[in-house]
Amino acid sequence: MKIFFSFILLLSLTFNFYTFSYSQNNSVVPNNVKSEKDLAPTNPLYQLRVTNIVRGDETDNNENSLFFDIFIYHTNLFDSGPFEYAAGQFYLNFNPGIANGGTLSYSIVPNSSDFTNPDAIPVNPTIAGGQLRLERNVNLDPGEGPIISTVFPGTKIVKMKLSTTAPAISANQMDLSWLISNINQQYSEVYAFVDSVSTIVTGDGTFFIDTTETPLPVELSGFTSNVSGNEVMLNWSTSSETNNYGFDIERSLINTEWNKIGFVSGNGTSSSINNYLFEDKNLNSGKYKYRLRQVDYNGNYEYYNLTNEVVIGTPDKFSLKQNYPNPFNPSTKIEFDIPSDGFVSMKLYDINGREVKSLINEFRYSGYHTFEFNADGLSSGVYYYILNSGDFRSSKKLILVK
């Protein structure tokens, strides 16, 4: 008599304690089960896996479609013998927010299964609330079911396509998980022929989701920095974008908190290369870190860190810059560079050479400095500011217009 595996062998599995790596990502744990590990047999018969999660494929490159494969892999040939698949139904939980405001559809990619018998392929893909459903295939007789491969990743049951009527699918919201067991609900089940009888073997398998393969909304292909004096130019590129609202630029002094310093708009949905830049000016001497906070239109975000520290050194000579804005009312900024520590004096004079105000009169460390001058209380007119430090002396003209 042809036997693919027996109940005796299945029962004996509980006494074979060799090591097996088990993971069950995001699975639904029944109320009477203490943990996910309680769902795993000591020596599993098979592994069911969702894998190869991609946006677009060789037949459809649209940004509004997502594809993934469902594989079954025979993990226990030595103890159980060949595994003849009899039937299966496959239920997955997901986040409907992936629709990105559109209407979802769920379908089987034609001719995508490794099953040579088309009757073994599950049928009627549907969406019900937060579930993706594939119903049980038609009844097979012993000998008609496919023999499941013992070579990883196993036998592909089917490739699935999930699409939205919106311009782009929000892939990072997918949140797939197997629905294995739940009270008063249908759930994923696998059947195999045991002594020529189609028998449920769901409890003898493990269930995986390759979440590491879920596409990010933006594929960053480069993020670099260039320093010129006390200015930093950030450059980054994307090879593809989906639903990309834009990038918050954040900066931190080493060992301090992050602060948002700017925003650059994204290109929405794009399959071409896009280049971005942001200039961070008037920095003091020190070491800085930068990161991008990429934000989708739906509010989801992802961080991208600049790998290197940015060092702003000290200037090699004295310099006094023109104030900006100029003319101004009532505030303006004055920048100056000093190459060495020392006493600094900056005074404001009117057009007749009379001293109006002392702006700076203190010790300053070497570096790049910015002074913000508020001219409240002064009348409109032309003024001069003069910087003195050591042997250095320089003046510039400013115009106050009220």
Closest CA to 181 of 190, 171, 172, 169: 190
Q: What is the pLDDT of residues 250-295, one digit of tens each?
A: 999 877 889 999 999 999 888 788 999 999 988 888 899 999 999 8
Q: Where in the chain is the domain with CATH 2.60.40.1930?
A: 319-400
Helix (H, G, I), strand (E, B), or coil: what is residue 80? helix
Helix (H) or strand (E) holding 10: helix 7-12
Q: What is the pLDDT of residues 351-382, one digit of tens each?
A: 999 999 999 999 998 888 899 999 998 999 99
Helix (H, G, I), strand (E, B), or coil: what is residue 12? helix
Helix (H, G, I), strand (E, B), or coil: what is residue 180? coil
| DSSP code of residue 109 | P
108 touches 70 (CB < 8 A): no
pLDDT of 182 reads: 66
CATH architecture, range 218-312? Sandwich (2.60)
Residue owning tokens 């320093």: 227
| DSSP code of residue 9 | H
Instruction: Give 310's Cβ-side CA count (13 Å radius).
Output: 27
Task: Kindly list the distances between the CA atom of residue 251 and the CA atoms of 233, 237, 282, 289, 296, in Å, as whole numbers in the listed order.
Answer: 13, 19, 13, 6, 20
Closest CA to 306 of 243, 213, 245, 226: 226
Residue 386 has pLDDT above 80, yes or no: yes
Mean pLDDT of 228-234: 91
Judged on CB neighbours under 10 Å (0-12, 13-18, 19+), 197 is exposed
Residue 38 has pLDDT above 50, yes or no: no
Residue 39 has pLDDT above 50, yes or no: no
Q: How far apart are CA 160 and CA 112, in angstroms?
A: 9
Q: What is the pLDDT of residues 58-69, one digit of tens each?
A: 455 567 888 999
CATH topology of domain 319-400: Immunoglobulin-like (2.60.40)
Helix (H, G, I), strand (E, B), or coil: what is residue 27? coil
Task: Kindly list the distances between the CA atom of residue 235 and the CA atoms of 250, 308, 375, in Å, as whole numbers in the listed order.
Answer: 14, 13, 37
Mean pLDDT of 215-236: 87
pLDDT-derived band of residue 19, with 50, 70 and 90 as boundaries?
very low
Q: What percent of the chain has pLDDT over 70?
A: 85
Residue 107, number of CB atoms within 10 A of its CB: 13
As given in the structure block, the two tokens for residue 387 are 């910087």
Q: What is the pLDDT of residues 133-182, one digit of tens each?
A: 999 999 999 999 999 999 999 999 999 999 999 877 877 778 899 998 76
Closest CA to 398 of 377, 374, 381: 381
Q: Where in the chain is the domain with CATH 2.60.40.680?
A: 7-213
Judged on CB neighbours under 10 Å (0-12, 13-18, 19+), 241 is buried
Residue 32 has pLDDT above 90, yes or no: no
Helix (H, G, I), strand (E, B), or coil: what is residue 271? coil
Beta bridge partner(s), residue 350: 383
Closest CA to 54 of 218, 290, 215, 220: 215
Q: What is the pLDDT of residues 64-85, one digit of tens each?
A: 888 999 999 999 888 788 999 9
Closest CA to 4 of 201, 202, 206: 201
Under the phi-then-psi rule, with left for phi > 0, alpha for psi from -120 to 50, and beta for the rest, what region is 282? left
Which listed CATH number (3.30.450.20, 2.60.40.680, 1.20.120.420, 1.10.3230.20) goes with 7-213? 2.60.40.680
Mean pLDDT of 30-54: 64
Closest CA to 236 of 254, 251, 252, 218: 218
Q: Where in the chain is the domain with CATH 2.60.40.10?
A: 218-312
Residue owning tokens 């309680």: 38
pLDDT-derived band of residue 186, with 50, 70 and 90 as boundaries?
confident
Residue 23 has pLDDT above 50, yes or no: no
Query: Amino acid identity, residue 270?
Result: S
